[in-house]
Amino acid sequence: MSESEARPTNFIRQIIDKDLAGGVHTTVHTRFPPEPNGYLHIGHAKSICLNFGIAKDYQGQCNLRFDDTNPEKEDIEFVESIKSDVNWLGFDWSGEVCYSSGYFDRLHGYAVELIEKGLAYVEELSPDEIREYRGTLTAPGKHSPYRDRTVEENLALFDKMKNGEFAEGKACLRAKIDMASPFMVMRDPVLYRVRFAHHHQTGDKWCIYPMYDFTHCISDAIEGITHSLCTLEFQDNRRLYDWVLDNITIECQPRQYEFSRLNLEYTVMSKRKLSQLVSENLVNGWDDPRMPTISGLRRRGYTPAAIREFCKRIGVTKQENTIEMSSLESCIRDDLNENAPRAMAVLDPIKLVIENFDGDIEHLSAPNHPNKPEMGERSIPFSREIWIEAEDFREEANKKYKRLVLGKEVRLRNAYFVKAERCDKDADGKVTTVYCTYDPETLGKDPADGRKAKGVIHWVSADAGVPAEIRLYDRLFTLPNPGAADDFAATINPESLTVVQGYVEPSLKAAVAEQGYQFERMGYFCVDRKDSTDDALVFNRTVGLRDTWAKIDG
């Protein structure tokens, strides 16, 4: 990462600066703690850039820790994908990967300590009864009939839970705090529940699993985390975070700080909803290029630098807001405009026959980038028959139309002037072939008589061009906030993916996965890293050349 990407300022960095200046801490230790129950999305990228970026800028440490306390929804596939995403974004974690499950023995010991202090009890109300007893936002909860069991009873019952002598849902361990608290999270929250589930790290050793709120703060303390950064929905949970650490015997006392989560228009950031899209085959997997997952964005052609720049631009605040999709697109557009080599591709082809061109294929030279001669040049085959875009030809047009018209001239990109003479149509009246003549004296220069072309159009040799499947992606949903709909899946955009068969110049046979290319006049594209082969090229459109969102939304 370049220096220009580093050192943004925000309220969290100001807190860290104050802590270091005041001697509260001598070093900075953060963590990124995903649950391995799905693939990471663009919202997680914001947290990754914040936690790992802070550790890098302050010469501190950042742990990658899997908060893996819910084995029924977790999978080793998600573990591996998360590690890959963090690395791809340009970050590495301190030491070995951490797992909350690696602390299960210690967590169990702390639960026993709370019982021995009279601060936890075994509950035998059903889950529905627990919810009923908890009260509402305006009415206090009431005590469970099991709340005043003796320490000895609770220790024995908790041991029975651990030994698998309670069925799921028949017993749990609750903290004894305050059923009248104005904060629901403090009304005797559940600390452990019974689950007969195989764990991807601990196997079948445990049949009781700690809850996230109990596990998270203790894991932070065990790892010596100085600043525990999370999103605003955990703001009230900070009271439980502090309560647990205040009431167990542990040296480190991390502090939790909350920032606003990332909300992005025309998509969802709920792992549950994203999982539903995958499980119901509404998209083609977690890495579908329409998904807001990091792997989906990567497959679509987004770069790590563009995503880091996006996270830098949106900043870190406590204010909830929704970011326009155009903000994300502008970051990748800026990156690719600067760094993507140029190429030509025709997505909706009609044939152009150059009647006065005789002989073999001619090899022309074109720059790989108009402003970067150091990127070199490429050879483009030019032949008697070429493909052009159907929209680049009209039989008649007004002066605003700057493409090929019967009786008029245009320049073929990096090639010659051509003049349209006549055309063929099919039974439906659709143009299939345009016949033209070319001026062989106009390669790299204008005609001697001062004629001007109406415009410049791109093309691909019909003899040497390579067939390719082109996937054109649009927003996944038709509503700016699909998560607020009664049925978010019903708002999926039926035109979120359009597949066309086109032709690309032969240099693109050597296209490298994750290398973006500007298809001149058409947008930015990349080889599909999953489906493309040497014999069947597939390209994904990353983003158009211009911002079309404002026009559509306006």
Token pair, residue 169, equals 């849902």
Is 514 marked as binding a ligand?
A: no
Compute CA distances 495 → 70, 282, 386, 475, 517, whole Å. Answer: 36, 13, 29, 8, 23
The answer to whether 285 and 77 have CB atoms below 8 angstroms apart is no
Active site residue 280: no
Is 37 marked as binding a ligand?
A: yes
Q: How far is CA 312 from its chain centroid? A: 15
Is 462 marked as binding a ligand?
A: no
Is 35 marked as binding a ligand?
A: yes
Is 532 marked as binding a ligand?
A: no
Active site residue 35: yes
CA distance 42 to 47: 9
CA distance 410 to 420: 9
Is 46 marked as binding a ligand?
A: yes
Q: How far is CA 501 from its chain centroid? A: 27
The answer to whether 56 and 30 have CB atoms below 8 angstroms apart is no
Q: Using the 8-state DSSP alphabet, how is residue 406 labeled?
A: B
User: The dihedral of CA 210, 215, 216, 219: what is its sign?
Assistant: negative
Name every residue whose Cβ is closer than 8 Å to that of residue 80 and which is 6 or more positions away in sequence. none
Closest CA to 263 of 82, 49, 42: 42
Please list the residues that pair with 79 across neighbouring strands.
none
Q: Annotated catalytic residue: which of 31, 65, 193, 271?
A: 271
- The DSSP bridge pattern shows strands 537-543 and 466-473 to be parallel
Is 45 marked as binding a ligand?
A: yes
Is 41 marked as binding a ligand?
A: yes
Is 294 marked as binding a ligand?
A: no
Q: Annotated catalytic residue: which of 5, 35, 113, 153?
A: 35
Is 44 marked as binding a ligand?
A: yes
Active site residue 261: yes
Q: Determine the longest span between alpha carbons in the chain, in angstroms.
A: 104
Residue with tokens 């929905």, as numbered in its chain: 233
Is 552 marked as binding a ligand?
A: no
Is 350 marked as binding a ligand?
A: no
Q: Annotated catalytic residue: which of 147, 261, 273, 521?
A: 261
Token pair, residue 387, equals 């493909």
Neighbours of 543 (CB within 10 A): 25
Is 344 marked as binding a ligand?
A: no
Closest CA to 398 of 387, 412, 408: 408
Name every residue whose Cβ is closer than 8 Å to that of residue 123 and which is 6 or more positions away in sequence. 130, 144, 146, 147, 171, 172, 173, 174, 188, 190
The answer to whether 214 and 111 have CB atoms below 8 angstroms apart is yes
Is 270 marked as binding a ligand?
A: yes
Show binding-site residues: 35-37, 41-47, 67, 212, 231, 261-262, 269-271
Show binding-site residues for L-glutamine: 67, 212
Show binding-site residues for ATP: 35-37, 41-47, 231, 261-262, 269-271
The residues annotated as belonging to the active site are 35, 261, 271
